[in-house]
Amino acid sequence: MLKTNSSVTMNQAPVTILVIGAGQRAAIYGNWALAHPSLAKVVAVCESNSKRRANYAAIHTIDDENRYSEYKDIPAGLADAAIVSTLDQSHSEIVCHLASLGYNIMCEKPMATTLSECERMRDAVLANKVLFACGHVLRYSPYTRALKAVLDTGEIGEIINIVHVEPVGWWHFAHSYVRGNWRNEADSSFSLMTKCCHDVDLVLHFLHPLRAVRVSSFGSLTHFKQSEKPIEAGDVKNCLDCPVKTSCPYSATELYITKAKEFDKGWPVSVVCGGAEVDIDNAVDLEDLVTEKLRDEEGGYGKCVYEIEDNDVCDQQVVNIEFEGGKTASLTMIAFTEAVCQRSTRIHGTRGEIIGDMSTFSVYNFGTKEKRIVDPRNADEVIDDGTSSHSGGDSGIMEAFLLAVSTGDQSKVGCDAHDIFNSHALVFAAEKSRVNGTVIKL
């Protein structure tokens, strides 16, 4: 985490937090609060899954009267702020309701699954004059902060072009975007939105205050369809029965049962087991439970990735953006990578170039012909407290949001509801370009 923001709020009472949706993301933010009790305290939870609600409440010692199963039952005044970490399609209704009650809100990305819902959220936040942050965690990591600081010095001159790649990872994509909650656009949204809206936000962040003026995009569902199924697999529908289950890179048995045998109860095994914490104390029973769940047709995690009929989201996509002054940027989302979400970025300036991988970045100066490596992980102001992912972005966004709440200053978030809406609008425009085969003027 970064000490900077923490030191500002250290002598104040901790910010109290209401959590809506007690899943994986809520666990990350909740664990951060537990690790920093002088800064934040979770005092209320709303979760429809009774087991998950009870477990989360127990971890945070939440009183019975502050445990809710329906967000509409939440009264005003429970906490200083709310964190919304439910499924994407529910964000709009929940955020608008909480804003009407006066809660300052941090909402997981994306804002919502339609442009009109995003607009409604923006308007509700502004009308009720509450603070707002969106889970664009990439911009809050020590890595991004250090890189942006170099850009702001003008060391590499005027930025002309950015090339950004999001390697989702072959097994991660199969889990979340082929078998999982984000496999179907009608039930969730298109994969550029659900996976890469914060990558688009990052590009906008680097080029701020330049405005995007045109966008084009290309991509499709290329591989995860029946026509690409290995002949050797025959007509088998479930990975447990597949003759090539030990050699197929997308085998559910290799992904989930292997982890169960290692007694790994975390993500993604926890998702396969129903999305709630797994109350099992040995690997044998965990393997049995996972095997049972993979057999469950309703759960879907045992299905062959080539036989999932409602999977319709892109497994690869390219986005091209033109900014004011003719500056350009490109974003590639690709499922078929060894790296899992370890983005790579090249920033080309008139006086130098930056190349980074979310851990370190190099700065090359055309004039001096010197190159230096910047490793933000070694900086004095960065410590690893074990509570954050996204290269420290989860800690960073918590600190920024809590600082905004404790001071009543939206600028501490680093962006506002207009900025967040505009970055989402660009993602929707990119998808419109892909679907219609046109260049979209913004």
The highest-level CATH class for domain 139-225+311-390+415-441 is alpha beta
Q: Beta-carbon neighbour count of residue 73 at 10 Å?
A: 8
Q: What is the pLDDT of residues 82-111, one digit of tens each?
A: 999 999 999 999 999 999 999 999 999 999
In this prediction the pTM is 0.92
Tell me which architecture the domain covering 3-136 has in CATH. Answer: 3-Layer(aba) Sandwich (3.40)
Q: What percent of the chain has pLDDT over 70?
A: 94
Rounded distance between C-alpha atoms, residue 219 and residue 69, angstroms: 39
388 pLDDT above the threshold of 80: no
At 145-187, the pLDDT tens digits run: 999 999 999 999 999 999 999 999 999 999 999 999 999 999 9
Whether the domain at 3-136 and the domain at 139-225+311-390+415-441 fall into the same CATH topology? no
- For tokens 């046109």, the residue is 438
CA proximity to 306, closest of 183, 224, 221, 240: 224
- Over the chain, what is the mean pLDDT? 93
Residue extents of the structural domains in the chain: 3-136, 139-225+311-390+415-441, 235-295
Write out the two tokens for 359.
């851990």
pLDDT of residue 332: 98
Task: Give the burial string for 232-245 (b: 16+ CB within 10 Å, else e).
Answer: ebeebbbbeebeeb
pLDDT single digits (tens) 328-364:
999 999 999 999 999 999 999 999 999 999 999 999 9
- Given this model, what pLDDT does residue 297 score? 85
For the chain, give the percent of residues with pLDDT over 90.
89
Only one residue has tokens 């004039």, namely 367
Question: Which residues share a beta bridge with 319?
Answer: 217, 331
Band of residue 389 on the pLDDT scale cut at 50, 70, 90: low
Check: CB of residue 397 under 8 Å from CB of residue 133: yes
Rounded to a whole number of angstroms, the CA Rg of the chain reads 22
Average pLDDT over residues 119-127: 98
Secondary structure element (H or E) that encloses residue 286, with its range: helix 283-295
Neighbours of 209 (CB within 10 A): 6
Specify the pLDDT at position 386: 43
The answer to whether 118 and 126 have CB atoms below 8 angstroms apart is: no
